[in-house]
């Protein structure tokens, strides 16, 4: 991980476009103590203390980025790679994938007959969803904590 003084560009600004065309401005800056200060102009960020835009970028997914070049993405990666914030975003991505799969599996099981086999299978899927939900809750709390740490 590069130190703050070694970073060629800090902060870095990226623009992410939603599917409906709405553009969000994400500014990322390494601050003292290896922490990262990352802001996004979206409503979700204000309401929830985290957002999908910051998670996508921290997971190095640039599909929605507009008017960018490789240099900007390299500079962004110099700032975030190896930080606790990037690690916690990766954990949220895994937890979200598990959560969506468990939710879909439960939805599918609802079509089963209300007999012994069907009910036990439904109970298993419900337990899987409960576990995935708890994991997501913990992962998001950690992500929010590391996002907030950049402003401490």
Using CB under 5 A as the criterion, which residues of the chain lie in contact with Zn ion when the complex forms? 24, 40, 42, 45, 51, 53
Which helix or strand (DSSP H or E) is residue 138 part of? Answer: helix 116-149
Q: Nearer to Zn ion by C-beta: 14 or 40?
A: 40
| Least distance to Zn ion, CB of residue 16, Å | 7
Considering the complex, state which of residue 108 and residue 151 has its C-beta at the smaller distance from Zn ion: 151
Q: Which is nearer to Zn ion, 46 or 127 (CB)?
A: 46
Any residues with CB less than 8 A from the CB of 82 and at least 6 apart, and which? 1
CB of 122 to Zn ion, least distance (A): 36
| Angstrom distance (rounded) from CA 15 to CA 142 | 25
Long-range contacts of 68-73 (CB under 8 A, 24+ apart): 68/14, 68/15, 72/9, 72/12, 72/14, 73/14
Shorter beta-carbon distance to Zn ion: residue 136 or 147: 147
Shortest separation between residue 56's beta carbon and Zn ion, angstroms: 9
- Report the C-alpha gap between 76 and 23 in whole angstroms: 18
* Shortest distance (Å) from residue 51 CB to Zn ion: 3
């Amino acid at each position: 991980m590069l130190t703050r003084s070694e970073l060629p560009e800090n902060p870095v600004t990226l623009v992410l476009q939603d599917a409906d065309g709405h553009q969000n401005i994400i500014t990322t800056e390494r601050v003292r103590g290896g922490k990262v200060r990352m802001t996004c102009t979206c409503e979700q960020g204000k309401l929830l203390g985290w957002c999908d835009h910051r998670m996508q970028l921290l997971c190095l997914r640039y599909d929605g980025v507009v008017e960018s070049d490789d240099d900007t993405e390299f500079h962004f990666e110099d700032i975030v790679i190896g930080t606790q914030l990037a690690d916690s975003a990766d954990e949220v991505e895994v937890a979200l994938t598990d959560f969506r799969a468990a939710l879909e599996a439960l939805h599918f099981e609802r079509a089963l007959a209300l007999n012994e086999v069907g009910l036990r299978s439904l109970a298993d899927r419900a337990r899987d969803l409960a576990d995935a939900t708890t994991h997501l809750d913990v992962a998001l709390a950690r992500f929010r904590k590391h996002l907030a740490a950049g402003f401490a």
